[in-house]
Structure formats: C-alpha cells, structure tokens
C-alpha cells in the first residue's frame, strides 16, 4: 500500500490537494499529539528557519527552528543592526525575528505536526530565547550544547510546551532526570546525539573522545532504559530520539528495534529543497567527500564537525599560533553571543574565531569565508537536493525518489 495519503485541506483559494505522509512505524507521542517519528534537528545560523521547520511540521513530523541570530533572514532587522555594536539592539532584533519565524512556521503547519525551537545552552541569550519561544507559540523547546538544568523553571508558565534536552550519554541523561525530577518535571522526550557522526557542536569533552564507544546508540539506549527502571520511570513516558549519521530506512528500523521512538536528522534536512540556507551552502555539504569532513575545537569550547573549506583549512593551519597568543578582548562584533567564547575570553584550548560571523557567511553561500557544519555520514540522496517530503517518505517507508520517477540527474 502506498504510504502517501491524499487529503484535501485549506479553503483559502478554493480546495487544495495536500499530500499527508503516513508510516507503519509507531507514531511519536509528544504532549498527547501523535507525530511521524521524524525530527528535523535545529540548525544555526539560519539554516533551519520557518520554511524548513514549517514544511516538516506540515507533513506531520517535528520541525525545529534554530533560535540563533535569526535577524539574518530579515532585511529590515539587518538594516537596523548590521553596523551597530549595540548588543541590546541586536538581541532585541533577534527576538523579533524569532517571533516572526515561529509564527510563520506555525502558519505553514496549519495545525499539523509540531514546531519546536532549538536553543543552545551555551548562548548568552538562552533564557530570553526560551521565554520568547514560549510566548510566540512554539510547541516544544529543544536544548543542546550544555545541560539545561533550569529549563523547567524558565518554562513553568507554559506547561503545554514540550521540553526536550539533547544529550550524548546516559551520564548526562541521569544528571538532567535527577535534577528535573526534584522539580516534579520529566523531559517530554530526549534527543540522544552521537558525537561520532553528528554535525555542528558535539557533546563530547574534547576531540579525543568524539569517537568514544560509550556514545554508541546501542550503549546509550540500553543505559537510558536501565536508568528509567532505576528511577521508576515507565519507558513509554519519555520517547528517545536518536540523532547523528542517520541516512537510510534500514538504520531507522535498527534504531527502533534498539528502543528509539524517533530519529533526528540534521545534514539531510539542511540540504533539502526547503532548507533555509543558500543553494551554494547545500552544494558545499552535498559535494563534500569523506576526507573533507573534519572535527576541530569551536570557540564555544566544544568539538565541532564541518566541511574543510578554504576558510577552515586556513584557520586550522594557523590555529596553534592563534591559541598561543590567545588573550581576553572585546567581542569582535559587539554581539557577545556566547556565555564563554574562546576568542573573546582568550581561552587557549578553544577555537579562536568568531563563530557567528563564519556561520553567517556560510548561510549566504560564501564558500571562501563560511563555516559549513556537516555530519560525517553519506547523504540519503547523494548529491541530489530533494524536497523534505521525499526525505521523510524514504526514511519511514523506503520509498526513494527514483520510485516516484522524479530523481534528477
Ligand atoms: C548546518 C548545521 C547546523 C547545526 N546547528 C545546530 C544548532 O544550532 N543547535 C543544535 O542543537 N544542533 C545543531 N546541529 C545538529 C543537528 O540538529 C543534528 O542533531 C545533527 O546534525 C544530526 O546529525 P546528522 O547531521 O548526521 O543528521 C546542526 C547541524 C547542521 C548540519
């Protein structure tokens, strides 16, 4: 039976035929809503904004807007803030942009799926982004790059907003569960992200531990289910969402068999037709060979994975020298986006570059100056840039674009 159901929705300009996806996999249950068990991971800066997250949600899955520096998608807000070094002005513009993006994604979703906002714990405006997301109507808050110990308090006035921490091992999960349980709150789901494969910032202490076997999905899923038992939590209460390197329906089946309730993907969504970054950004990611993908220390003090483009290769050549000379200085762009920044705070073991500037260049498709985050594994459709609908249908139902007769050359 075809996994695609046809439904007629919307009455704005007459009736519109809309493709709703379905699957034989169990649905992901979040806050009493049943979703397709696919999560599109949050991707900054601007790589997952309303178009990507809204499309994913409109198909019945969980789409995620990345909250970082969204003013970059709004020319009026950029015009007001591009040349300023006034942090308050930049932060205010970003909250306006976040509000616009959430509302636009929710409008696209028309009540289907869920729209989440990803907020990195390591970002200085973390609490303000979380509050704005709740006020603007986000269905879920997803927090990575640090332990969101205070998330239940920050969102206490919004009990209907799902809270989803991103962690990489059972130890981190135990810390969050024990802390939140004291506040009588449980996560509504947990994303388990494997630093061996994922893109962007990685949840490992340093570069030498990124490939540690204790991060393997089988180990973390087993450890987490044992932890739930120890803490008296029914395993169905907190769905586990695995992330990092997932690119085939076979992997999805295996992960479900190991106890996952959904899978999160980043890179494959970043390169989808609806991904919010420039087409050149997508081509850099799809065109990267395995030997082009590297891990290095970010200025956030975490290991990160990206494509070794011209800027990154030059930076890595000079890294040791820059680290030897590291010393505290004012933020180079006056934005102070991170709680702790290797460049601004002169932390020698962290990266010595401005991450917001480099990620901003990548978003615009500036191959020479951009920093292009990418996961380590092959992509579901190779170098082809395909619609989100086809990606989800492939992962959940094994239906490849070739079967639809639409795969381009
Ligand atoms: C371009 C890009 C930017 C990302 N930015 C973020 C981010 O801001 N916050 C976050 O929690 N994860 C971020 N991620 C990680 C993804 O949300 C996702 O968990 C991860 O990429 C999964 O691995 P995969 O890319 O192999 O599918 C980013 C990934 C990519 C590709």
pLDDT digits (tens, 9 = 90+) for 211-263: 999 999 999 999 999 999 999 999 889 999 999 999 999 999 999 999 999 99
Do 139 and 177 fall into the same domain? yes
Q: Which atom of ligand 1 is nearest to the CA of 268?
A: 27
Mutual orientation of helices 249-257 and 388-397 as an angle, nearest 10°?
50
Query: pLDDT tier at 8 (50, 70, 90 boundaries)?
Result: very low
In a domain, 17, yes or no: no
Do 237 and 331 fall into the same domain? no
Query: pLDDT tier at 20 (50, 70, 90 boundaries)?
Result: low
The phi and psi torsions of 65 (rounded to 5 degrees) equal: -90, 135
Do 320 and 174 fall into the same domain? no
In a domain, 378, yes or no: no
Do 34 and 129 fall into the same domain? yes
243: domain CATH number is 3.20.20.70
Do 328 and 190 fall into the same domain? no
Distance CA 287, CA 20 (A): 31
The phi and psi torsions of 28 (rounded to 5 degrees) equal: -90, 125
Q: Which residue range(s) make up the domain with 46? A: 25-285+391-397
Do 168 and 272 fall into the same domain? yes
Mean pLDDT across the chain = 93
Residue 402: per-residue pLDDT: 66
Residue with tokens 């949840």: 203
Q: Specify the 3-state DSSP secondary structure of 49.
A: coil
Do 125 and 231 fall into the same domain? yes
In a domain, 209, yes or no: yes
Residue with tokens 């260049």: 361
**Nearest residue (CA) to ligand 1, atom 20:** 266
Do 184 and 308 fall into the same domain? no
In a domain, 7, yes or no: no
pLDDT, tens digit, for every residue of 364-409? 999 999 999 999 999 999 999 999 999 999 999 999 886 544 443 3
User: What's the total number of domains in the chain?
Assistant: 2
pLDDT, tens digit, for every residue of 184-209? 999 999 999 999 999 999 999 999 99
Task: Reply yes or no on whether the pLDDT at 90 is more than 90.
Answer: yes
| E-only strand ranges, 33-103 | 33-35, 38-40, 62-66
In a domain, 409, yes or no: no
In a domain, 407, yes or no: no
Task: Reply yes or no on whether the pLDDT at 296 is more than 90.
Answer: yes
Ligand 1 pocket, mutate which of 64, 98, 198 (most atoms under 8 A from CB):
198
**Structure tokens given for 48:** 């997952």
Do 176 and 295 fall into the same domain? no
Do 333 and 248 fall into the same domain? no
Q: What is the distance in A from the centroid of ligand 1 to the CA of 294?
A: 15
167 lines ligand 1 (CB under 6 A): no
Please check whether residue 95 is in contact with residue 132, taking contact to mean a CB–CB distance below 8 angstroms: yes
Ligand 1 pocket, mutate which of 39, 40, 43, 52 (most atoms under 8 A from CB):
43
Do 84 and 169 fall into the same domain? yes
Q: pTM surpassing 0.85?
A: yes
Q: What is the distance in A from the centroid of ligand 1 to the CA of 12?
A: 35
Do 210 and 301 fall into the same domain? no
Q: What is the distance in A from the centroid of ligand 1 to the CA of 390?
A: 20
């Amino acid at each position: 039976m075809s996994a695609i159901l046809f439904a007629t929705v919307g009455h704005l300009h007459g009736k519109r035929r809309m493709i709703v996806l379905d699957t034989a996999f169990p649905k992901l249950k979040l806050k009493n809503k049943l979703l397709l068990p696919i999560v599109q991971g949050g991707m900054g800066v601007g790589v997952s904004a309303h178009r990507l997250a809204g499309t994913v949600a409109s198909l019945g899955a969980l789409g995620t807007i990345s909250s970082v520096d969204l003013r970059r998608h709004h020319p009026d807000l950029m015009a007001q803030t591009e040349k300023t070094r006034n942090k308050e002005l930049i932060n205010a513009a970003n909250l306006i942009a976040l509000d616009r993006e959430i509302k636009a994604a929710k409008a696209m979703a028309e009540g289907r799926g869920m729209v989440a906002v990803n907020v990195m714990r390591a970002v200085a405006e973390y609490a303000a982004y979380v509050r704005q997301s709740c006020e603007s109507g986000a269905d879920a808050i997803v927090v990575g790059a640090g332990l969101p110990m205070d998330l239940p308090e920050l969102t206490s006035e919004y009990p209907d907003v799902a809270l989803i921490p991103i962690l990489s091992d059972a130890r981190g999960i135990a810390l969050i569960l024990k802390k939140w349980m004291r506040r009588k709150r449980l996560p509504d789901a947990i994303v388990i992200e494997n630093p061996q494969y994922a893109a962007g910032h990685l949840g490992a202490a340093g570069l030498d531990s990124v490939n540690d076997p204790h991060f393997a999905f089988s180990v973390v899923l087993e450890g987490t289910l044992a932890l739930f038992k120890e803490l008296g939590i029914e395993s169905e209460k907190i769905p586990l969402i695995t992330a990092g390197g997932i690119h085939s329906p076979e992997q999805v089946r295996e992960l479900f068999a190991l106890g996952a309730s959904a899978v999160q993907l980043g890179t494959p969504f970043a390169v989808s037709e609806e991904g919010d970054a420039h087409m050149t950004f997508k081509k850099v990611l799809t065109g990267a060979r395995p030997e082009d993908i590297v891990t290095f220390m970010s200025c956030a003090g975490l290991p990160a994975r990206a494509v070794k483009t011209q800027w990154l290769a030059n930076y890595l050549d000079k890294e040791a020298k820059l680290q030897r000379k590291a010393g505290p200085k004012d933020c180079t762009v006056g934005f102070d986006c991170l709680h702790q920044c290797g460049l601004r705070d002169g932390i020698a073991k962290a990266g010595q570059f401005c991450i917001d500037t480099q990620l901003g260049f990548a978003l615009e498709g500036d191959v020479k100056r951009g920093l292009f985050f990418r996961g380590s594994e092959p992509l579901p459709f190779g170098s082809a840039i395909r619609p989100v609908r086809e990606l989800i249908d492939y992962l959940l139902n094994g239906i490849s674009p070739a079967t639809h007769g639409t795969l381009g050359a």
